[in-house]
Structure 1
Amino acid sequence: MMTQLSDNERIKSESNYLRGTIAEALNSQVTGAFSEDDQQLIKFHGFYQQDDRDLRKDRKERKLEPLYSAMLRVRIPGGIVSPSQWLAANELALKLTESGTLRLTTRQTFQYHGILKRNIKPLIQGLDKIMLDSIAACGDVNRQVLCNPNPVESRLHHEAYAYAVQISEHLLPSTRAYYQIWMDEPNPSGAEDQEPIYGKTYLPRKFKIAVAVPPHNDVDVHANDLSFVAIAEQGELIGFNVLVGGGMGSTHGDKQTYPRMASNLGFILKEQVLDVATAVVTAQRDHGNRGERRFARLKYTVDRLGVEVFRQEVESRCGVVFAEGRPYEFTQHTDRFGWVDGMDGLRHLTLFIPNGRIKDGEPGRLQTGLAEIAKIHQGDFRITASQNLIVAGVPKAECARIEAIAREYGLLKDGLAPQHLHSMACVALPTCTLAMAEAERYLGSFVEKFVTLQRKHQLESKPIVLRITGCPNGCARPFLAEIALVGKALGRYNLYLGGDGKGTRLNKLYRENITEEQILTLLDALLGAYAAERMNDEAFGDFVIRAGHIKATLEGRDFHDHLS
C-alpha cells in the first residue's frame, strides 16, 4: 500500500527546483505575505515568513493584515566571520530590518528579524557582497554546519573547522534558483537544474550536522542528525567518530514523537568524511518518512531501521567500513567565558550575550560596542552554539584595549551570577509562529528568581544547565539540559529534569503544564535536597536521578516512560 505523501512533497516537486512563484511575489506590493506554497520554499532560501503576534489583534480590529516580515538566517559554517564582515552585516541590520538588531543563534550564526518583503532582496544582495549567503539555512536540506569554536588548540580546531566548511559546501543544493531570484543571474539556456545529492524533492525534513572537538560539547553533538567527533593523537587529527540520529523536536501529548540522542556508527579516517556525509544524507533521502512530517527526521529512520541496518546501508553507499568507535569524553557543555590563552600565543575573549541579542539598551550598548571592537580587531569573531561571541586571535599587546571597549559598552561585566552564563532560550514570542509561551523575553527574569533560590541554599557558585523554549520543537535544545522549561501555554510550562550537564543524556518530564510559582516551589525543594544530599561534585542532573526524583532516560523511546 502506497503511503500518501505530505503536501510539502507536492510543493517541492512542483517548485521547479525551489523557484515556485517567489520572484513574482517580490514584485507584488498588494500584500506583505508570500503564498502558502512559497512560504515553504522560501525556507530553502534561508528565511521564514513571520508576523508580530503582539500586534495581531490591534491590526485585525483596524482591518489590516498581520504585520508580515521575514526572519533570515545566514549560513556561516563553523560560525566564524571577519571583523569587516561583522561591520557590514551590522550595517545591513540597521538599514534593512525593523528590529535593527542581529541575533546570535543556537546554530552558530546570526539572524535578521523584521525584514519587510521589499528589503529581503537588498539584504541578501548585501550579504553576497561580503561573501555571506543564506542558501539552505532553512528547509528540507542540510542546514548550518556547527563546529566547536575552540580557539585554544588552534591547529586542531583549524582542521576541524575546515571539514565543517567542506561539508557545508559539499551538501549545498545545486539549483541556481537562489542566484537567479536574488542576484538576478541570467539563465539563457533554460537548462533544467540537477540535484545529484538531494533529488527533485530534496530531503523528507530538515537535516543538521555538527563537528565537535572533545572534551568540549558546546555544539551538542547528540542533538544533530549527523555529527563528527574529532579524534586526535598527539594533537593531530586522525579521523572522526560518526554519530547519527540525534534530534530534539517532539509534540506535546504525542508519545510517538520524542527527542533522541545520536548513535555512534564507529570511526572513520578524516579523508572519508565527505563520502560518509553524502551516504548518510542520501540514505535519509531514500528511507525517510515522506508521508508524516512529524516522523520525517533521521532519528525516526534510524529507530525504524535499527542502528546496525542503517550502518550497513551507509557503508554500502560510500564503500567505507566503519571501525570500532574510538574513546573520547565530553566534560563541558557550555562556553568558557573571559580571556583564555591559545597555543599560538594569541588570546581569546568570550563575551556573554544575553539571549544572543545584539542590540543597544539593557544590559549595555552591545551593538555599538561590538562595532567599535570590529573596527580595531585583527583576528576573527566566533559565534558559539550557546548564543555567545568570541573575540578570537587577539595579540597580547591589544588585550587591554579590547577589554576596555568591552567594559565601556557593557559587553564585559563583573559580578554576573554564573547561572546566567549557563542558561539559554529560543526566540519564541512575539515572532515565532510555533511559540506557545515566552522564552527569550522571559529567561532573564526567571534566571534572577532561580539565582535567588540558589543563594538561599548556598548553591550560587554551582551553576546548572538551564534552558527555556516556547514550544517542544527544541530550538534551544532543552531536552539535553539539567533543567528545562518547555512552553505549553502563556505563562505555563512543562518542567523537565535530569540532563547530565555535558549534553550526553536526555532529561525527562517532571511536571506538566505548571505556572512559574509552581515551578519555583518545586525547584526550591529540589535545590534544598541537592544542597543537603549531593555527593562531592555531583551535578544537579545526576543527583535528581540518583536520589529518585526522576527516572533516567536511557534512549529516546524511553523519554515518555515516567518514574510513576
Structure 2
Amino acid sequence: MSETEKKLSANEGIKTRSNYLRGTIEEGLADLSTGALSEDDQQLIKFHGSYQQDDRDLRADRRKHRLDKAYSFMLRIRVPGGVATSHQWLETDRMAEQYANGTIKLTTRQAFQLHGIIKTNLKRTIKEINDTAMDTIAACGDVNRNVMCNPNPFLSSVHADVLKTAQDISAHLTPATRAYHEIWLDGEKIQSSEEEQEPIYGKTYLPRKFKITIAVPPSNDVDIFANCLSFIAIVENGKLVGYNVAVGGGMGSTHGNEDTFPRLADVIGFCTVEQAVDVAEKVVLVQRDFGDRTDRKHSRFKYTVNDRGEEWILAKLNEYLGYDLEPVRPYEFKDNGDRFGWVEDEVGNFHYTLFVEGGRVLDVPGYPMRTGLREIAKMHDGDFRLTANQNVVIANVSAKKRAEVEALLEKYGMHRSHERSALRLSSIACVALPTCALALAEAERYLPEVVTRLEETLEDVGLRHDAITVRMTGCPNGCGRPFISEIGFVGRGPDRYNVYLGGGHAGQRLSKLYRQDVEADDVQALLAPILQRYAKEREEGEHFGDFVIRAGYVTATVQGNDFHKNIKAEAIPVG
C-alpha cells in the first residue's frame, strides 16, 4: 500500500473536525456530571496546554467502590527560554496552592507544570496564568512547544541575544487560532463568512509534537541533539554571528517496536541571527508537508529526517527558504549539566543555581524549599531561570540584594542544596506515577532512592565529586532524555527497568541497552562493579560513558533502527 493510500491516524480526523482546536471543549467544561472531558477533547486540550489525568494510586480503591476515576488536569505553562519574573514565580506558587496539589513541577523543557487541577478550576487557572503575562497555549499538542535556550546568563555575554531568538521563534510559531482566547479568556467570538486560517500550521497542524532548543557552547544543557530542531550559537570575537542548525533529534520509542527509536540530531548548516526565525518556520513547514500522518508512532520529525536523509532535508529546506544555509561552523560541547551555587557575571550581577531534586518544588519536613523561594521572590529584583535539568537559577541578583538573598537561602536550608554527590546533581526524572497515564514504572518518586544506593558505592571508591549523568523515565517515551545519559533507567513494568549505559557526557551520543527487565532492588548490585572498575581503571579526564564503551560493557550506538541491534563495535581492552 502506498503512503498516499494509508489511512490517516485518528488524531488527524479529530484535528480536522475541531474547528481549529475548539471541538466541544467549552461544552465539556460546563458538564458537571463528570470530572472528565470527551475522548476527542482530551486530545484537543493538549494544544491548549493541558492533559487530563487521574491519580493512579487511587484507581483500585475507587474501582472497588464503583467510583469514577479521580480525574484532574495538568497544566503546562510556557516559559520561552526559561525566564520568569519574580511576580510570575509568586503567582505560579499561589496557583499551585489555590488550584493544584500544592507543588510546582519544573520540567525538563524549562516550563512550569501544575498538577491536580479539577475541571471546575481549569478555566479560572488558565485565565490567571494569562493575567501574569504567561500562557499555556501550544505547551502540548501537535505544534511547536516551549522553545528552550541556555538559561545561565553568566556563561556567555551573548545570552541576551540568544534568549531573544528563543522568544522570537516561540512567538512566531504560536498557533493563530482564536480558540484559546474564546474558550479560556472569554474573548469575543468573531463571526465571519471566511474560514479561519492557520498561516503556518494549516487546519491539521503538525503530524506530532515539535521541539526546538538553542544552546551556547560549550554548554549543551538543553540537549540539542535530542530535539527536532536546534540552533547552536556561534560566537566570534565575543559577538553572536549566527547559529549552526541541527535537525531530526528525538527520544521516544516503544518497547518491542524496532521501528521506533531515539535519534540524535544531524547538524546540517549555518544561518545568521536574522535568518533564525525564518529557518525555524521553514523546518516546521517541511515537517508539516512531509511528516507521516498515518502512524503516530512514526510521525515525529526524527523519522522524516531518518527516512529521507539529511541531504534531502537540507535541499528541501533550502528550497523552502529560497536561499542556502551556509556550511557548518566549528563548535564544541563539554557537558550538559548545571553550574551550582553563586557566580558573578561581567556586569556585577550575581546568580545562584539551586538544585531541585526531580524538579519538584515543595515543602517537606526540615526543608521548606517552596516557602523559601516564595520569600525570595517577594524581595528579588532580578528574575528566575528554569534549567533543562529541572533546577532553578535565582538570576540577576543585584549586589545590594545579595546578602538578603543569602540570608533567606540559609534560613530555609537552601544554601547547601548543591552539597550533594555529583551523581545526584546530574540526575533527572520525569513525573511518571501516579499521574502520567503512560508510565509503566516509577521515576520521580524512585530515582532519589536509586541514587542514594549508588552513592554508597561512589563514596567507597572516591567518586562522590565525579559527575555522571543519570536519568530515569517511567516509560520509553523518554521525557527525561534517558537515552543520551551515561546511566539511563527506562520503566519496563512495576519496579522493573531497562538499564542503558554509554551516553555522551555532553549529550552527544546515544546510550546502549545493557540489561533488560532489571528489578529495582537489583540496580545497585548490577552497577556497583562497573563503578568500582571505572574508579580504578579510567584514564585521565575520561567520563563514565566513554569508559563503559572502552571497557566493552556496551557498544557505541549508531543512528536509526540500529539502536536496537547488537552491533559489535571494537572495545579496547582495559587493564
What's the TM-score, normalizing by structure 2? 0.96
**Candidates 221, 224, 233, aligned match of 1:221:** 224
Q: Partner of 1:5 in structure 2?
A: 8
Match of 1:22 in 2: 25
Written as runs of structure 1 = structure 2, the 5 A alignment for 1:356-367 is 356-362=359-365, 364-367=367-370
Distance of aligned partners of 1:437 and 1:504 in 2 relative to their CA distance in 1, 3 Å threshold: same
Q: 1:71-95, CA deviations, whole angstroms, 9 ceiling, x for partnerless residues?
A: 0100110010110111112111111
- Residue 398 of structure 1 is matched in structure 2 by 401
- Report if aligned partners of 1:174, 1:193 keep a CA contact under 8 Å in 2: no
Q: CA deviation at 1:323?
A: 1.2
* 2:438 counterpart letter in structure 1: L
Once the 2 structures are TM-superposed, how far is the Cα of residue 320 of structure 1 from its aligned partner? 2.6
Moved more, 314-323 or 107-116: 314-323
What does residue 536 of structure 1 align with?
Answer: 540
Give the match for residue 571 of structure 2: none
| Aligned counterpart, 1:81 | 84
- The answer for unaligned runs of 5 or more in structure 2 is 569-575
Counterpart secondary structure, 2:148: strand
SS at match of 1:166: helix
1:451 match: 455
Q: Which amino acid aligns with 2:264?
A: M
User: Contact conserved, 2:152 with 2:393, CA < 8 A, in 1?
Assistant: no
Work out the CA distance in 2 between the residues paired with 1:544 and 1:272.
41
Distance (Å, rounded) in 2 between the aligned partners of 1:331 and 1:153 = 13
Please say if 1:45 is aligned against 2:30. no
Partner of 1:100: 102
Q: Distance in 1 between matches of 2:46 and 2:237?
A: 42
Partner residue in 1 for 2:501: 497
Q: 1:352, 1:412 within 8 Å by CA — same for their partners in 2? A: no
Q: How does 1:120-519 map to 2 (within 5 A)?
A: 120-153=122-155, 155-190=157-192, 191-362=194-365, 364-413=367-416, 415-519=419-523
Structure 2: which amino acid aligns with 1:437? A
Secondary structure of the residue aligned to 2:524 is helix
Q: Secondary structure at the match of 2:147?
A: strand
User: Shift of residue 41 of structure 1?
Assistant: 0.1
Q: Distance in 2 between matches of 1:479 and 1:188?
A: 46
Amino acid at match of 1:101: T
Distance 1:480 1:56 in 2: 33
Deviation at 1:153, TM superposition (A): 4.6
Q: What is the letter of the counterpart of residue 116 of structure 2?
A: G
- Say which SS state the counterpart of residue 319 (structure 2) adopts: helix
Indicate conservation of the 8 Å contact 1:553/1:559, yes or no: yes
Letter in 1 for 2:64: E
- What is the letter of the counterpart of residue 156 of structure 1? V
Measured against aligned partners, the alpha-carbon deviations of 1:510-537 in whole angstroms (never above 9, x if no partner) come to: 0001112332222111112112211112
Residue 441 of structure 1 aligns to a residue whose secondary structure is coil
Is 2:450–2:523's contact at 8 Å kept on the other side of the alignment? no
**Deviation at residue 410 of structure 1 after TM alignment:** 2.5
Distance in structure 2 (CA, Å) of the matches to 1:238 and 1:36: 47
Change (3 A) 1:362 1:496: farther
Which amino acid in 1 is paired with 2:439? A
Q: How much is the aligned-residue C-alpha RMSD, in angstroms?
A: 1.2
Q: Name the stretch that deviates more: 500-509 or 359-368.
A: 359-368
Asked if structure 1 preserves the Cα contact closer than 8 Å seen for 2:47 and 2:142, the reply is yes
* 1:455-505 deviation per Cα after TM superposition (whole angstroms, max 9, x unaligned): 122221212100011000000000010000100011100000001211000
Quick one: distance in 1 between partners of 2:113 and 2:409? 22
Cα distance in structure 2, aligned partners of 1:83 and 1:276: 33
What are the Cα deviations for residues 158-194 of structure 1, in whole angstroms up to 9, with x where unaligned? 0000000000000011100000000111124245320
Give the equivalent residue in structure 1 for 2:553.
Answer: 549
What secondary structure does 1:410 align onto?
coil
- Partners of 2:415 and 2:253 lie apart in 1 by 36
Q: 356-365 or 499-508, which moves further after superposition? A: 356-365
For 1:29, what is the secondary structure of its paired residue? Answer: coil
Distance in 2 (alpha carbons) for counterparts of 1:149 and 1:392: 9
1:363 Cα deviation from its structure 2 partner: 6.0
3-state SS of the aligned residue for 2:78? coil
Question: In 2, Cα distance between the equivalents of 1:550 and 1:79?
Answer: 35
Letter of the 1:485 partner, please give it.
Answer: F
Residue aligned with 1:143, SS = coil
Retained in 1: the 8 A contact 2:156–2:216? no
Question: Residues of 2 paired with 1:264 and 1:5: CA distance?
Answer: 31
> SS at the partner of 1:344?
coil
Separation in structure 2 between the aligned mates of residue 445 and residue 280 of structure 1, nearest angstrom: 41
What does the per-residue CA deviation read over 1:341-364, in whole Å, with 9 as the maximum and x for residues that have no partner? Answer: 111111100000111111111561
Query: SS of the counterpart of 1:111?
Result: strand
CA distance in 2, matches of 1:510, 1:362: 38
Q: Which amino acid aligns with 1:51?
A: D
Give secondary structure in 1 for the equivalent of 2:370. helix
Partner secondary structure for residue 49 of structure 1: strand
**Which one is further off, 411-420 or 3-12?**
411-420
AA paired with 1:94? E
Q: Deviations over 1:115-153 (max 9, x none)?
A: 000001000110111111001000000000001012115
- Read off the aligned partner of 2:344 and give its amino acid letter: D
Q: Describe the SS at the equivalent of 1:261.
A: coil
Q: State the number of aligned residues.
A: 563
How big is the shift at 1:155? 3.9
Residues 110-129 of structure 1: pairs in structure 2 closer than 5 A: 110-129=112-131
